[in-house]
Amino acid sequence: MAHPILRQKLDRGEFIVAPGLHDMIAATVADKVGFDIVYGTGYWLTASALGLPDAGIATYTQMLERMATLVRTSRGAVIADADTGYGGLLNVHHTVRGYEAAGVTAIQLEDQEFPKKCGHTPGKRCVPTRDMVDKIKVAVEAREDRENFLIIARTDARAELGVDEALRRLEAYAEAGADILFFEAPQSEDEMRRACEAFDLPMLANMSDGGRTPILPARVLEEIGFALAIYPSLTSLSAAAAMERALASLKATGDSRSAEVPLFDFQEFCGRIGFQEVWDFERRWAR
């Protein structure tokens, strides 16, 4: 079941910061910090689970399982990356139904050709606008909870076709029934402002560390006109950096203990991952 919190915050005009989560450890930490809306990132969930690039290699079944696990693990409402919908119109219908049944709150669909590529890497190609419009119409029709399960329409046209074409596409996607618009990979603050000024629908900013879009503070994004921002690579890149430091220290010293390598408390993590329930169950049924 979709969580109403995303719709409620958008209706109140409350700016939303949603961290990208690449695995279930990141989900438990986001819960501790207190994020009530999170982003299931296709790039990083694929990298974490499969060790593969975000290039249309992961299947619908694999990503559905990963998103369902994220929904189960996280207390936050999940915005889920669904790539191109994993095929044609029937696939989009099936994808929306599957993601909604898994408990996702919003589904992101993009207008790239299949197999798609990460939005901040080269070689992207877009389908005709009409094809994406039909996908959005199918997605809108397929969802059961029309109030709380939201459709995010993303265009990747900026890289291949330019800003003007990207904005024309977003206008068509808005008319097709999208709830949130996603202008992927603008390359300047001016481009970001232009997109926000063009539409009344909520606009999503992708703060992809290391990508093509300027990283701006949430207060600036809100002033520009965005309604929400996702941070897909933050947990992954920070975790990778921390692991590299820890492993380098271990290799150099032969000791896992280092003042330079902070560790999450093991007992606290056991509790957060659910061991307390296991221990309570075992005590209850001990013979």
pLDDT tens-digit series, residues 220-260: 999 999 999 999 999 999 999 999 999 999 999 999 999 98
Per-residue pLDDT band at 73 (split at 50, 70, 90): very high
Query: pLDDT above 90 covers what percent of the chain?
Result: 90
pLDDT, tens only, 44-56: 999 999 999 888 8
- What number is the average pLDDT over the span 261-270? 94
**Higher pLDDT, residue 218 or 211:** 218
- Average pLDDT, integer, range 140-164: 96
Q: Identify the weakest region by mean pLDDT among 111-115, 158-162, 281-285.
A: 111-115
Confidence class for position 115, pLDDT limits 50, 70, 90: confident
Whole-angstrom distance, CA of residue 168 vs CA of residue 174? 10
Domain boundaries of the chain, sorted by first residue: 5-239
pLDDT for 159: 87
**Looking at residues 101-106, what average pLDDT do you find?**
98
Confidence category of residue 209, pLDDT binned at 50, 70, 90: very high
Q: Helix or strand or coil: residue 66?
A: helix
Cα separation, 259 vs 282, whole angstroms: 37
For the chain, give the number of residues. 287
pLDDT band at 119 (very low <50, low <70, confident <90, very high): low
CATH no. for 5-239 = 3.20.20.60
If you average pLDDT over every residue of the chain, what do you get?
A: 95
Model pTM score: 0.94
* End-to-end Cα separation, the chain, in angstroms: 39
* Nearest residue to 135 (alpha-carbon basis) of 198, 180, 177, 192: 177
